[in-house]
């Protein structure tokens, strides 16, 4: 497969990552070369092989539905690293466009 | 009793016996770490006041009759683990100002056991790298040659222990990030079974692979840490609910009756002559100690790198989505929230992190999931099955820990060349196995002036940490390779008696 097969601008948009033209020029061949390496996997027979999400099996880990105070971050602590707060809230730039 | 060179076990015994105090250990270590770190750059932040505070607390607990397994032992913490009130950066500009509001379970267990926090150590950004060079916040040098990398991603944790700036440290290993830098810095680096140590408070990179483990200057010290940090944690649902077999009291002195597997696919002729000679001697030493060497095969191991470089970036792209400039970390301006996200992440992440986010996003994107992520998860099954089959014929598998000794800065500019450093560590990571690197000698690099340390990797079946540490201990005590090298930083001052006045500068 060609090494420029990744539409890097599209992938960057999906990843919410602004890239400069220089970065695109650098990353495109690097990612292409890595994906070429990864293509070798196609030769590995995996018909009827189950997928491993993690090696040590565990499923449906549950706990009692009770409050565990030690896991609760106080509001003040939760807000302490925020770039911008307003009262007890995280403040962000506008999300919904103003009505014309 | 020497607070710089003594083992963690010896320091704890002295503090518990009150023949010295934790405060004296701290006061000796603090100026030394400052002095040595001016050369090494192992720490992003040292925490002398916190260290003193913990030292006073340890002395009070010992005075009240408690005996603590790590009483007064100086430890360094990789800076992707939270410790309340300390900056916790993951080596990234995006978290440069982040102050942890809680403490990671593994760190808390060390502190509860009496350890003293020297500081937070440098790492490849978000633990993505094999040399330490991907840190956005500092440069860490190899204590055995300052012109060479310490390895990564747990660069500072390996360098701090190798350079005698801490007795122990914690690192995290996703594809080799404890074992490779341990090999480069002449220390023991141990990755327990996946799920054996809580990841609560560890900044996530690839959640199905990440595991916390110790660096130490001996296997016995690594075992001490393991006994303290291993075990179920209700705060990490993936931590395994299974009794921990303590290891520290069960180490062995020989390898009689142990079948050691040599992997056909990891043939030593891939290495240069000097490195090959080191490993040939190591295998011969194992045999001399009573082990029976058996040939085993891991036919899918050659697919390890390809599998890993789909699974780890996929998980990273998902985990790192949380860095969006809203709740913590850097925020760049943007006209709307979408632009703010894109600019924040552009300004906050370095090139390697961006590359991996892009690979992972691509591999998970619509139309490619089956061909890449699902395929890699199936390959992962086959790799784990290969190990299981190999362990029917042997008790442990040995190999080099890294593809070469520590290399010079900027020697590997191509990402795939760098990824190849972890060729030997990645398959075991994918299989979740306990694995460690123990010093096994040194080789003079072609472009070097000093022999550089090397590591022997040992890997055993899931949850057999006690056996693994036992084998490594037998090998280490019979060979004593680590003690044959002296770090360039350490002119370990001759007057290191604890009774000497502290704070004096050389």
B351-364 helix and B304-319 helix, angle to the nearest 10 degrees: 100
Which residues in chain B have Cβ-Cβ distances shorter than 8 Å to A49? 378, 381-382
Complex confidence, ipTM: 0.93
Structure tokens at B473: 């201990």
Burial class of residue B146 (count of CB atoms within 10 Å of its CB; 0-12, 13-18, 19+): middle
Q: How far apart are the C-alpha atoms of B307 and B162, rounded to whole Å?
A: 32
Nearest CA in chain A to B193: A56
Query: What string of DSSP letters covers B78-93?
Result: ETTB--TTSB--TT-G
* Strands B396-400 and B259-263, bridge-based pairing: parallel
CB-nearest to A77 from B98, B101, B382 is B101
Give the N- to C-terminal CA distance of chain A in Å, as an integer: 47
Is A1 within 8 Å of A37 (Cβ atoms)? no
Containing A30, the helix (H) or strand (E) segment is helix A21-38
pLDDT of residue B283: 98
Which residues in chain B have Cβ-Cβ distances shorter than 8 Å to A12? 358
Quick check: B146 contacting A, CB < 8 Å?
A: no
B window 77-136, beta carbon within 8 A of A? 97-99, 101-102
In degrees to the nearest 10, what's the CA dihedral of B193, B195, B197, B200? Answer: 150
The strand pairing partners of B296, in sequence order, are B263
The strand pairing partners of B452, in sequence order, are B443
Nearest CA in chain A to B462: A56
Is B203 within 8 Å of B91 (Cβ atoms)? no
B462–A81 C-beta distance less than 8 A: no
pLDDT confidence of B491, banded at 50, 70, 90?
low
- Catalytic-role residue among B92, B153, B399, B403: B153
Quick check: B351 contacting A, CB < 8 Å?
A: yes
pLDDT of residue A63: 84
B/e letters for B183-197, b = 16+ CB within 10 Å, e = fewer, are: bbbbbbbbbbbbbbb
Quick check: A81 contacting B, CB < 8 Å?
A: yes
Q: What is the mean pLDDT of residues B81-90?
A: 97
Q: How many CB pairs under 8 A join A and B?
A: 179
Question: CB-hemisphere CA count at 13 Å for B179?
Answer: 36
Answer whether residue B501 shows pLDDT above 70. no
Mutate to test the interface with A, among B310, B320, B378 (most CBs of A within 10 A): B378
Is B455 within 8 Å of B176 (Cβ atoms)? no
Q: Which residue has the tokens 């999300």?
A: A95
Residues 6+ apart with CB under 8 A from B309: A34, A37, A38, B359, B419
Q: Which residue has the tokens 């997928």?
A: A51
CB-nearest to A49 from B194, B325, B378 is B378
The CA distance from B388 to the nearest CA of chain A, in Å, is 12
Query: Hey, is B443 helix, strand or coil?
Result: strand
A window 56-75, beta carbon within 8 A of B? 56, 58, 61, 63, 68, 70-71, 73
Nearest CA in chain A to B331: A83
Structure tokens at B10: 């010896």
Query: E strands, B250-358, where?
Result: 259-263, 292-296
Is B454 within 8 Å of B278 (Cβ atoms)? yes
Quick check: A32 contacting B, CB < 8 Å?
A: no
pLDDT confidence of B416, banded at 50, 70, 90?
confident
* Strands B188-191 and B116-121, bridge-based pairing: unpaired
Containing B446, the helix (H) or strand (E) segment is none
Q: Which of B303, B298, B484 is nearest to B391 (CA)?
A: B298
Domains, chain B, in order of start with CATH, read 8-257+435-443+453-484 (3.90.1300.10)
pLDDT confidence of B426, banded at 50, 70, 90?
very high
**Whether B93 is catalytic:** no
Q: Max CA-CA distance within chain B?
A: 69
Which residues in chain A have Cβ-Cβ distances shorter than 8 Å to B414? 30, 33
- Catalytic-role residue among B169, B177, B403, B435: B177
Dihedral sign of CA atoms B483, B395, B209, B268 in order: positive
B349–A46 C-beta distance less than 8 A: no
Burial class of residue A67 (count of CB atoms within 10 Å of its CB; 0-12, 13-18, 19+): exposed
Rounded to 5°, angle at Cα B428 from B426 and B434: 130
pLDDT of residue B506: 31
Tens digits of per-residue pLDDT, B293-321? 999 999 999 999 999 999 999 999 999 99
pLDDT of residue A100: 55
Tens digits of per-residue pLDDT, B263-287? 999 999 989 999 999 999 999 999 9
B374–A51 C-beta distance less than 8 A: yes
In degrees to the nearest 10, what's the CA dihedral of B115, B119, B125, B131? Answer: -80
Query: Hey, is B101 helix, strand or coil?
Result: coil
Answer whether residue B502 shows pLDDT above 90. no
pLDDT of residue A50: 94
Mean of per-residue pLDDT scores for chain B? 95
B328–A15 C-beta distance less than 8 A: no
Query: E strands, B67-148, where?
Result: 74-78, 116-121
Instruction: Kindly report whether the peptide bond that precedes residue B421 is cis, defined as omega within 30 degrees of 0.
Output: no
B377–A37 C-beta distance less than 8 A: no
- Radius of gyration in angstroms for the set of CA atoms belonging to chain A, rounded to a whole number: 23
Quick check: B325 contacting A, CB < 8 Å?
A: yes
**Whether B198 is catalytic:** no
pLDDT of residue B1: 81
Q: Which of B176, B400, B309, B129 is nearest to A40 (CA)?
A: B309
Query: How many angstroms from the chain centroid is the CA of residue B436?
Result: 9
Which residues in chain A have Cβ-Cβ distances shorter than 8 Å to B462? 55-56
Nearest CA in chain A to B431: A55
SS (H, E, C) B458-473: EECCCCCHHHHHHHHH
φ and ψ at B44, to 5 degrees?
-85, -25
pLDDT of residue A55: 86
Q: How far apart are the C-alpha atoms of A60 and A96, rounded to whole Å?
A: 37
Put the strands of the sheet holding B211-216 in their side by side order.
B43-46, B116-121, B74-78, B168-173, B211-216, B188-191, B435-443, B452-459, B396-400, B259-263, B292-296
Tens digits of per-residue pLDDT, B115-135? 999 999 999 999 999 999 999
Which residues in chain A have Cβ-Cβ distances shorter than 8 Å to B210? none
Answer whether residue B504 shows pLDDT above 70. no
Task: Supply the pTM of this predicted model.
Answer: 0.95
pLDDT confidence of B490, banded at 50, 70, 90?
low
Quick check: B306 contacting A, CB < 8 Å?
A: yes
The CA distance from A93 to the nearest CA of chain B, in Å, is 5
The CA distance from A91 to the nearest CA of chain B, in Å, is 7
B window 8-47, beta carbon within 8 A of A? none
Which residues in chain B have Cβ-Cβ distances shorter than 8 Å to A32? none
Structure tokens at B233: 């944690």
Tens digits of per-residue pLDDT, B130-143? 999 999 999 999 99
Is B15 within 8 Å of B22 (Cβ atoms)? yes
Q: How far apart are the C-alpha atoms of B345 and B320, rounded to whole Å?
A: 10
Query: Hey, is B320 helix, strand or coil?
Result: helix
Q: How far apart are the C-alpha atoms of B83 and B75, rounded to whole Å?
A: 13
Answer whether residue B482 shows pLDDT above 90. yes
Ranges of chain A with pLDDT below 50: 1-3
Give the N- to C-terminal CA distance of chain B in Å, as an integer: 20
pLDDT of residue A4: 60
- Catalytic-role residue among B21, B78, B198, B435: B78
**Whether B153 is catalytic:** yes
Tens digits of per-residue pLDDT, B177-193? 999 999 999 999 999 99
Q: What percent of chain B has pLDDT over 70?
A: 97
Q: Which residue has the tokens 């002295």?
A: B14
Structure tokens at A83: 């770039």
């Amino acid at each position: 497969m060609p090494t420029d097969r990744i539409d890097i601008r599209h992938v960057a948009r999906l990843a919410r990552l602004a890239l400069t033209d220089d970065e695109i020029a650098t990353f495109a061949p690097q990612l292409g070369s890595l994906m070429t390496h990864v293509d070798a996997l196609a030769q590995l027979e995996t018909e009827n092989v189950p997928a491993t999400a993690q090696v040590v099996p565990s499923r449906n880990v549950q706990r009692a539905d009770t409050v565990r105070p030690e896991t609760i971050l106080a509001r003040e602590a939760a807000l302490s690293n925020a770039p911008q707060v307003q009262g007890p809230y995280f403040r962000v730039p506008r999300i919904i466009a103003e009505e014309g | 009793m020497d607070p710089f060179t003594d083992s963690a076990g010896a320091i704890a015994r002295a503090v518990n016996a009150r023949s010295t105090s934790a405060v004296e250990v701290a006061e000796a270590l603090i100026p030394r770490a400052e002095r040595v770190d001016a050369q090494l750059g192992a720490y992003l932040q040292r925490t002398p006041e916190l260290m003193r505070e913990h030292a006073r607390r340890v002395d009070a607990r010992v005075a009240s009759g408690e005996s603590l397994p790590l009483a007064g032992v100086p430890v360094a913490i990789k800076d992707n683990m939270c410790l309340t009130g300390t900056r916790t950066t993951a080596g990234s500009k995006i978290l440069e100002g982040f102050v942890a509001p809680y403490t990671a379970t593994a760190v808390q267990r060390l502190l509860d056991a009496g350890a003293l926090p020297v500081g937070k150590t440098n790492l490849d950004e978000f633990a993505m790298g094999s040399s330490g060079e991907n840190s956005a916040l500092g440069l860490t040098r190899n204590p055995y040659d300052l012109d060479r990398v310490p390895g990564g991603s747990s660069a500072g944790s390996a360098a701090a222990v190798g350079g005698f700036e801490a007795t122990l440290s914690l690192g995290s290993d996703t594809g080799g990030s404890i074992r490779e830098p341990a090999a480069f810095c002449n220390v023991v680096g141990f990755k327990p079974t996946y799920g054996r140590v809580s990841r609560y408070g560890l900044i996530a990179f690839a959640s199905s692979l990440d595991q916390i483990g110790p660096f130490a200057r001996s296997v016995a010290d690594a075992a001490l840490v393991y006994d303290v940090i291993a075990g179920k944690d209700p705060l990490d649902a993936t931590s395994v609910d299974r009794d921990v077999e303590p290891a520290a009291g069960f180490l062995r002195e020989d390898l009689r009756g142990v079948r050691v597997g040599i992997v056909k696919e990891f043939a030593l002729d891939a290495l240069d002559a000097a490195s090959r000679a080191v490993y040939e001697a190591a295998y011969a030493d194992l045999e001399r100690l009573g082990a029976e060497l058996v040939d085993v095969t891991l036919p899918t191991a050659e697919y390890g790198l390809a599998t890993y470089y789909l699974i780890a970036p996929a998980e990273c792209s998902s985990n790192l989505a949380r860095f969006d400039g809203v709740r913590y970390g850097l925020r760049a301006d943007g006209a709307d929230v979408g632009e703010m996200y894109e600019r924040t992440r552009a300004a906050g992440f370095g090139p390697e992190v961006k590359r991996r986010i892009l690979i992972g996003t691509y591999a998970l994107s619509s139309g490619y999931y089956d061909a890449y992520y699902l395929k890699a998860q199936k390959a992962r099954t086959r790799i784990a099955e290969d190990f299981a089959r190999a362990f029917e014929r042997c008790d442990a598998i040995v190999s080099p820990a890294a593809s070469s000794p520590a290399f010079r800065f900027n020697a590997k500019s191509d990402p795939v060349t760098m990824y190849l450093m972890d060729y030997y560590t990645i398959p075991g990571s994918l299989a979740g196995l306990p694995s460690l690197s123990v010093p096994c000698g040194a080789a003079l690099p072609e472009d070097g002036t000093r022999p550089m340390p090397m590591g022997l990797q040992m890997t055993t079946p899931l949850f057999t940490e006690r056996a693994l540490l036992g084998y490594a201990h037998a090998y280490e005590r019979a060979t004593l390779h680590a003690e044959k090298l002296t770090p360039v930083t350490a002119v370990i001052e001759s007057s290191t008696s604890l009774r000497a006045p502290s704070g004096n500068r050389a």
